[in-house]
């Protein structure tokens, strides 16, 4: 034991003895650290003792590793672990693990389910048919207004632009209301 590290040292909280010259002695590790404030001889002694290795001495572990302090390493590790857990949960949700497919009954495509009275239909109702646009629908209404109401469903063919093919597609959905038949048709009592 060094003379500077004598029994006159005061005991500190960490178990390190300090004497009046500023030297420190740690009995747990067995190292006497001399702070070079007493004399130049003590500074040489400090260098010699700091380079000497002791069997149970560990280097202090307070230096940063991977450019991070210990608290920062724990924080980054926790963030990485939480991120990994979230990625795994997201992957499981995308993989549809534990889900069963549900079969959906589909209805057949709808058909026209209405009848159009050819003597009272507006151009908007005529335009609902496949292949009849706004122009042809307005032409049908104008023909009916100028030449009078249609006497039969086949009279729709008199409008320019309605050929046999278009008429065949529309015919099942066309009707004439009996009360609106032309005045020329005989009324039976």
Q: pLDDT by residue for the chain (189 residues), tens digit each? A: 444 444 434 444 456 666 666 666 666 665 656 555 545 555 555 555 555 555 565 655 666 666 788 888 899 999 999 999 999 999 988 887 777 777 888 878 776 577 889 999 999 999 988 888 999 999 999 999 999 999 999 999 999 999 999 999 888 889 988 765 555 444 444
Query: What is the pTM for the complete model shown?
Result: 0.39
Domain-wise residue ranges, the chain: 10-51, 116-180
Residue 85, classed as helix, strand or coil, is helix
Distance CA 167, CA 148 (A): 20
Q: How far is CA 189 from CA 45, 133, 177, 183, 186, in A?
A: 141, 41, 18, 15, 10
pLDDT at 85: 96
| Superfamily of domain covering 116-180 | Photosystem II 12 kDa extrinsic protein (1.10.150.320)
pLDDT at 12: 47
Based on its alpha-carbon atoms, the radius of gyration of the chain, rounded to whole angstroms, reads 52
Segments of the chain assigned E as strands: 10-11, 17-18, 24-26, 31-33, 116-117, 174-175
- 117 sits in the region (left: phi over 0; alpha: psi -120 to 50; else beta) called beta
State how beta strands 174-175 and 116-117 pair.
parallel
pLDDT at 142: 94
Do residues 134 and 152 make contact, with C-beta atoms less than 8 angstroms apart? no
Distance CA 167, CA 154 (A): 8
pLDDT at 17: 63
Query: For residue 10, what are the β-bridge partners?
Result: 18
pLDDT at 4: 45
Distance CA 111, CA 147 (A): 32
**Other CB atoms within 10 Å distance of the CB of residue 12:** 11
């Amino acid at each position: 034991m060094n003379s500077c590290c004598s029994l006159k040292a005061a005991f500190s909280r960490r178990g390190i003895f300090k004497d009046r010259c500023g030297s420190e002695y740690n009995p747990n590790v067995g190292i006497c650290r001399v702070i070079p404030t007493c004399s130049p001889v003590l500074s040489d002694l400090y260098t010699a003792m700091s380079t000497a290795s002791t069997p149970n001495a560990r280097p202090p572990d307070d230096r940063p590793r991977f450019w991070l302090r210990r608290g920062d390493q724990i924080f980054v590790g926790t963030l990485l672990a939480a991120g990994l857990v979230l990625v795994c949960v997201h992957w499981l949700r995308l993989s549809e693990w534990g889900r069963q497919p549900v079969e959906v009954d589909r209805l057949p495509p709808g058909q026209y389910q209405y009848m159009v009275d050819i003597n009272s239909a507006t151009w908007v109702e005529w335009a609902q048919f496949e292949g009849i646009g706004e122009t042809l629908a307005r032409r049908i209404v104008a023909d009916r207004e100028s030449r009078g109401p249609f006497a039969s469903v086949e009279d729709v063919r008199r409008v320019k632009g309605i050929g046999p093919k278009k008429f065949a597609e529309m015919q099942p959905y066309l009707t004439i209301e009996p009360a609106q038949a032309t005045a020329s048709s005989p009324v039976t009592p």
